[in-house]
Structure 1
Amino acid sequence: MTENDPANQARSGRVHRLALIVPGDPDQATGGYRYDARVAAELRRLGMAVDVIGLAGRFPDADDQAGAALDATLRALPDGHLAVIDGLALGGLPEVAHRHAGRLALVALVHHPLADETGLAPLVRNRLLESETRALAACRRIVTTSDFTARRLADLGVLPDRIRVVPPGVDRAAPHRVTGSAVHRLLCVGSLVPRKGQDLLIEALAGLKDLSWRLDLVGDPDRDPEFAENLEAGIDRHGLADRIEIRGVQDPDTLDATYRNADVLVVPSHYEGYGMVVTEALARALPMIASTGGALIDTVPPAAAVQVPAGDVRALADALRRWLVDPGLRAEKQAGARRLRRSLNDWTATGRRFAQALDMAAGATAA
């Protein structure tokens, strides 16, 4: 019997091998997928064997192909094996999860509840809420990335002692360049989807043509092509094509350079389960203008940011105007970002906390 044998794991309370199961291509450039990938890398550094498995099919409102893919993946795992399933893959398939819960150690990784996604029809929202609640009951533990999401799951009936919070880490990075240029460089990073609120930002900036600024929108336009097209139409409608550029997905080096060349990060999201762009900005001492949507009310530090109510275009426009005309405000938040930059956790700490959560799950039972 080897240390990677699932039965040995269960007796020792230490995890040596696990499957990390995600929907679709594991290499997608979103915060959730990057979190999953970095956790997998850190667990491997701790000596664990981690198999990352991407599932075919439609998620999170799962179709038959998705159900068959998850069922086949779990069926192929030996008894006692630990399987960490991303909430996007798990929440729509409670029957599959319960089918395997008796012989596998299932752990859910929930970035935010599926029903909290922006723009869902009421029937879809209710179906996802009921489905995810049942799916989570099949899991020994639930890992979330923020205290906010942990509270949301508790509101949905998940017992708090089954939840472990493992926030993302961040890589060390060079601070952004403070150039004092007359043209203020605004940056917004996130997939072009309704929840991220880029349409609100465009509307807010439409009333600030009297000021000097440029905006880079960085994010995947293919996750919701209709929304991305509407953003382009809004830019054209307001005559902002010479000021706003949609740059698509950027590789890590290009994105790092984009951060370093920005003056302020704008996070207009309706909702975030954590908002990894917040720590990525702080790692570069980059101040922020951000909403209070979801976990942002907790994760955005007031010392480094101006915050506005989520979904409030007028408040966002007012905050942007204040930022652009008030050098004292900019200096205050810049200084706060520099101070906070020194206190950020790295991915090594995240990996250790995640490993501890897995060790606890190895000896636990499902709800």
Structure 2
Amino acid sequence: MTRKLVFAYPGDLQLKTGGYAYDRKVLAGLRDRGWEIALLPLGAGFPAPTPDMLAAAQQKLGAIEDGSLVLIDGLAFGVLDEWATRDASRLRIVALVHHPLALETGLSSDRQALLKRTERRALGATRHVIVTSPMTRRELIANYGLSLQHLTVALPGTAPGARARLDGTPAHILSVGTLLERKGHDVLIRALFEIRDLEWTASIVGSQTLDQKTAQALKTLVIDLGLTDRIDLAGECEDTRALMAKADIFALASRYEGYGMVFAEALSHGLPIIACDAGAVPEVVPDDAGILVPVDDVMAFAHALRLMVINPAERQKRGEAAFAAGCRLPQWHDTAEIISSVLETL
């Protein structure tokens, strides 16, 4: 029997972000398992679309054939509460939530409250919700009115990686993440300034176009701190895994992560990690593989960087623990199998 699915998504499915990478990998895995998938692009601007964009997306969703199974990415779904409540009885709606929209960094209290209200209403209209971490499942149970039975965790898969040597001279510090306020690159840059007396180089890899205001502010910060010859704001990269295999330290000061796929990828390469105790990061990064510091604590982040830069033995010890943890992570076929099994029941 043919299994059919409509996958609705906002923006550009080919964007190099963790969320879109998850979507692409899951779609490929579902197709491998015999699912026939119709892609339904909902347009740009989510989760803050213009009224016209929102109306156009609702019109597309409203045209889906009755009885269809619809999997929709949470970046759009959280603001499509009117459509979800209207069409819940005629469609089998499943939401894929990477993290609740209201937990994005930099939102006003009014915007945060609005997003929480619309996403809670939308999620209440679903047949099921797939989340990417146990932490997000706990959040949706505690604050969005969902039950444990309504939720399934499908951890992102992680492909095995080439083992990093961790012997660079000077040590190379790698950060991978879109230049968004939530990713905390400003904290990393300021922390690197605090250890400017040491020998190191650093690369910050990630899109500079999704939040141009933040990207420009980071460029200005690097210039103002006199670090242009030591920090490379490298933009997007086709193969970040190749960069990880050549790095010595992975550092990302995210203020929140619904999972943090790049941390899992860093583990798979055996990279020691410096990050913040934020969101799901502690669930991904074992204590012996990295150092987690409080969010927005520049000096604590700098202290962790200093320890890792000046002590090759510490890098190697934590790198070994990271690689061991990476070998235990689920792979993408595991993720796709979990989601396929859930969809089959609906």
Query: Is the 2:160–2:327 Cα contact (8 Å) retained in structure 1?
Result: no
Q: Distance in 2 between matches of 1:181 and 1:34?
A: 29
Counterpart CA distance in 1 for 2:161 and 2:38 is 29
From 13, 17, 39, give the equivalent of 2:4. 17
1:166 to 151, 154, 167: 154
Query: Match for 2:23 among 31, 36, 40?
Result: 36
Structure 1 residue 52 corresponds to structure 2 residue 60: no
TM-score norm. by structure 1 comes to 0.91
Contact 1:57 1:64 in 2 (8 A): no
Following superposition, the deviation at residue 300 of structure 1 comes to 1.2
Letter in 1 for 2:285: V
Asked if 1:276 corresponds to 2:264, the answer is no
- 1:290-309 equivalences in 2 (<5 Å): 290-309=275-294
Contact (CA 8 Å) 2:174, 2:244: kept in 1 or not?
yes
Match for 1:89 among 58, 68, 76? Answer: 76
Displacement over 3 Å in runs of 4+: none
Q: How does 1:181-330 map to 2 (within 5 A)?
A: 181-252=168-239, 255-330=240-315
Q: State the secondary structure of the residue aligned to 2:288.
A: helix
Q: Would the aligned equivalents of 1:283 and 1:341 in 2 still touch at CA under 8 Å?
A: yes
Q: Which amino acid aligns with 1:44?
A: R
Q: Which residue of 2 aligns with 1:338?
A: 323
CA RMSD in angstroms, aligned pairs only: 1.3
The answer to whether the 8 Å contact 1:57/1:63 transfers is: no
Q: What is the SS of the residue equivalent to 1:256?
A: helix
Instruction: Give structure 2 stretches of 5+ with no counterpart.
Output: none
For 1:43 and 1:104, locate their aligned partners in 2 and report how far apart those are by CA, in whole Å: 20
Question: AA paired with 1:165?
Answer: V
Could you tell me how far apart the structure 1 residues matched to 2:165 and 2:312 are? Answer: 16
Counterpart residue number, 1:131? 118
In structure 1, how many angstroms separate the alpha carbons of the residues matched to 2:207 and 2:8?
22
Report the Cα distance in structure 1 between the residues aligned to 2:100 and 2:168, rounded to whole angstroms.
41
C-alpha displacement at 1:66, in angstroms? 3.0
- Contact 2:85/2:122 (<8 A) preserved: yes
Question: Structure 2: which amino acid aligns with 1:265?
Answer: F
Q: 1:350: how far off?
A: 0.6
Deviations along 1:79-128, one digit per CA (max 9) or x if unpaired, are 11111111111111200111211110000100001000000011111111
Structure 1 position 197, deviation (Å): 0.2
Is the Cα–Cα contact under 8 Å of residues 164 and 269 in structure 2 kept in the other structure?
yes
Query: Is the contact between residue 285 and residue 341 of structure 1 (CA under 8 Å) also seen in structure 2?
Result: yes
180-189 or 234-243, which deviates more? 180-189
Cα distance, 1:256 vs. partner?
A: 2.4
SS in 2 for 1:43: helix
Question: How far does the alpha carbon of each residue in 1:28-61 deviate from its partner, in whole angstroms, 9 at most, with x for none?
Answer: 1100000011000000000001122221142112
1:259 to partner: Cα distance = 1.1
Q: How many residue pairs were aligned?
A: 345
Distance 2:209 2:247 in 1: 24
1:73 has 2:60 as partner: yes
The whole-number CA distance in structure 2 between the counterparts of 1:65 and 1:293 is 35
Cα displacement (A) at 1:305: 0.9
TM-fit CA distance, 1:309: 1.3
Counterpart residue number, 2:338: 353
* Distance of 2:331 and 2:316 partners within structure 1: 26
Report the equivalent of 1:26.
13
Report the residue type matching 2:132 in the other structure: T
Deviation (angstroms), 1:70:
2.6
CA shift at 1:341, angstroms? 2.9
Alignment check: 8 A CA contact 1:56 1:65 kept = no
